[in-house]
């Protein structure tokens, strides 16, 4: 039977990925990090020396985009062809390039199909799919749809806690820039009709995970 689809959207640094992964682990669900697919494509674009702002060249890159992402939250890995890119896709050069490729409509259309197929094929009672347009485009009919937000201050503070002062300032600026670019393409700052907002500004990690699980329990 088809796994229960849990759609989660939110801005960068909202803790979306780690919260979604923990929720999936707790419920025995699969987990799909859609941002990782956009990042993997951006990585391949850079690897091939393609100009990230050349939409046609980016679209051609999709032809040899052989992408794998594990949906087991305990065995998270991302590969392009034979190359393990799990860590490489987090590099600042990839973060800086990803919005340019994510705004190409043909790229989005291609990946949306891929995400639906991966989610439907997950061998678990449910699947947590997180990104920017999951509640609105990938799965607008999902039984559970959540917008995970946090004040900009809280998001920057969480990111900074992991970094040195200089790196924190740079990462904060990068996050803001990426959210601005991304939100011109898809709206993940306002909850669409029927989407439940979970605001984690005043919550710690465990409380946020519990709040998401409560929404899932409520909707079923
Ligand atoms: O979630 P993460 O920050 O890793 O996403 C990386 C980038 O992928 C985002 O900045 C955005 O450009 C793109 N993205 C998207 N739609 C999604 C998920 C990610 O456009 N559903």
Shortest-distance Cα residue to atom 14 of ligand 1: 35
Between 49 and 1, the more confident residue is: 49
Contact (CB, 8 A) for 126 and 4: yes
pLDDT over 80 (residue 8): yes
Q: Look at ligand 1, atom 2, and give the residue with the nearest C-alpha.
A: 35
The whole-number average pLDDT for the span 27-32 is 98
Residues at CB less than 6 angstroms from ligand 1: 12, 34-35, 38-39, 98-99, 102, 131-134, 178, 182
With a pLDDT cut of 90, the percent of the chain lying above it is 79
CB 27 within 8 A of CB 166: no
CB 111, CB 162: distance < 8 Å: no
* Percentage, residues of the chain above pLDDT 70: 99
**105 carries a ligand binding annotation:** no
Per-residue pLDDT tens digits for 155-203: 888 777 777 777 777 777 888 888 899 999 998 888 999 999 999 999 9
For 127-156, the pLDDT digits (tens) are 999 999 999 999 999 999 999 999 888 888
Amino acid 176: pLDDT: 87
30-33 vs 196-199, strand pairing mode? unpaired
Nearest-atom number in ligand 1 for the CA of 16 is 1
Q: Which atom of ligand 1 is nearest to the CA of 137?
A: 21
Task: Flag whether the ipTM exceeds 0.85.
Answer: yes
Mean pLDDT of the residues in the chain: 93
Q: Which atom of ligand 1 is nearest to the CA of 134?
A: 21
pLDDT tens, position by position, 206-215: 999 999 999 9
Ligand 1 centroid vs 34 CA: distance in angstroms? Answer: 7
Going through the chain in order, the beta strands assigned E by DSSP cover 4-9, 30-33, 67-69, 78-80, 83-84, 126-131, 144-149, 196-199
């Amino acid at each position: 039977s088809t796994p229960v689809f849990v759609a989660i959207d939110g801005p960068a640094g909202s803790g979306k990925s780690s919260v979604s992964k923990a929720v999936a682990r707790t419920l025995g669900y699969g987990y799909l990090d859609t941002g990782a697919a956009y990042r993997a494509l951006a990585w391949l674009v850079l690897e091939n020396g393609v100009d990230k702002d050349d939409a046609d060249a980016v679209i051609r890159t999709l032809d040899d985009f052989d992408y794998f992402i594990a949906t087991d939250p305990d065995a998270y890995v991302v590969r392009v062809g034979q190359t393990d890119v799990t860590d490489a896709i987090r590099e600042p050069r990839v973060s800086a390039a990803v919005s340019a490729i994510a705004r190409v409509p043909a790229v989005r259309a291609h990946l949306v199909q891929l995400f639906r197929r991966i989610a439907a094929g997950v061998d678990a009672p449910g699947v947590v799919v997180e990104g920017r347009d999951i509640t609105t485009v990938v799965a607008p009919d999902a039984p559970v749809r959540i917008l995970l937000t946090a004040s900009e201050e809280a998001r920057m503070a969480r990111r900074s806690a992991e970094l040195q002062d200089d790196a924190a300032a740079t990462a904060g600026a990068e996050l803001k820039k990426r959210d601005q670019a991304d939100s011109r393409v898809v709206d993940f700052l306002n909850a669409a009709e029927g989407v439940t907002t979970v605001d984690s500004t005043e919550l710690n990690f465990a409380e946020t995970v519990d709040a998401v699980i409560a929404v899932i329990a409520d909707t079923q």
